[in-house]
Amino acid sequence: MNDAVIYAAAEGANPLIPNVWEIVVTVIGFAILLFIVSKYVVPMFEKTYEERTAAIEGGIEKAEAAQAEANAALEEYKKQLQDARTEANRIREEARAEGAQILADLKTKAAAESARITEQAHVQIEAERTAAVASLRSEVGTLATELAGKIVGESLADDARASRVVDRFLADLDSHQNAGASN
């Protein structure tokens, strides 16, 4: 009969339908596992997710801040470079103007120095001419007095008389030269 009970029990139990106690134990185990996961594991995952999100967002914000700072530094550099170029152009123009002024001053000084040297040369030439004329008058006067004394046959040793004869001779000579120059 034993065999018959086992066979009858085996026939009554469907292997596709699980036992009720197995379903209850499985549901309780799943509920405990769900509670542990939702209470301890999910908050750790959420915390890690938030930290990574904050780190990524913080990194992005830092990168954006660094990019903005780099852009500001670039703009400042460009502004300084433009200012430096403007300053260099201004200095170059000032140097050109100053060079032109110095050149003009040097030309003016050179012209003034040239005029002074020319004037000094004219004065020196006039002084030498006057000295030469005086020397020639003296020599011509002496020669004329001696010659006149030889021609007349008497001595013209008197200085006043000799001076008058020489002056008259030179005046006649000058008048002949002026008359010849005006013709």
- What is the pTM assigned to this prediction? 0.38
pLDDT for 105-158, tens place per residue? 999 999 999 999 999 999 999 999 888 887 877 787 777 777 766 776 666 566
pLDDT for 8-67, tens place per residue? 455 566 778 888 899 999 999 999 999 999 999 999 999 999 999 988 888 888 889 899
Grouping H, G, I as helix, E, B as strand and the rest as coil, residue 154 is: coil
Residue 134 in contact with residue 123, Cβ under 8 Å?
Answer: no
User: What does each C-alpha distance from 96 to 52, 82, 102, 131 come to in angstroms?
Assistant: 64, 21, 10, 51
Residue 155 in contact with residue 146, Cβ under 8 Å?
Answer: no
Alpha-carbon distance 174 to 25, whole Å?
161
Q: Which two tokens stand for residue 153?
A: 């046959």
Tell me whether residue 135 is in a domain: yes
Rounded mean pLDDT, 60-76:
91
Tell me whether residue 178 is in a domain: no
DSSP string, 73-103: HHHHHHHHHHHHHHHHHHHHHHHHHHHHHHH
Range(s) of the domain holding residue 163: 20-172
Alpha-carbon distance 74 to 68, whole Å?
10
pLDDT of amino acid 62: 87
Q: Which two tokens stand for residue 84?
A: 């430096």
Alpha-carbon distance 147 to 28, whole Å?
171
Number of domains within the chain = 1
Q: Which residues contact 123 (CB under 8 A, 6 or more apart)?
A: none
Tell me whether residue 181 is in a domain: no
pLDDT of amino acid 157: 60
User: Phi/psi of residue 167, each to 5°?
Assistant: -60, -40
Of 172, 135, 141, residue with least CA distance to 156: 141
Tell me whether residue 180 is in a domain: no
> If you count DSSP H runs as helices and E runs as strands, how many of each does the chain have, helices first?
4, 0
Tell me whether residue 70 is in a domain: yes
Tell me whether residue 28 is in a domain: yes
Tell me whether residue 8 is in a domain: no
Tell me whether residue 5 is in a domain: no
| Position 87 pLDDT exceeds 90 | yes
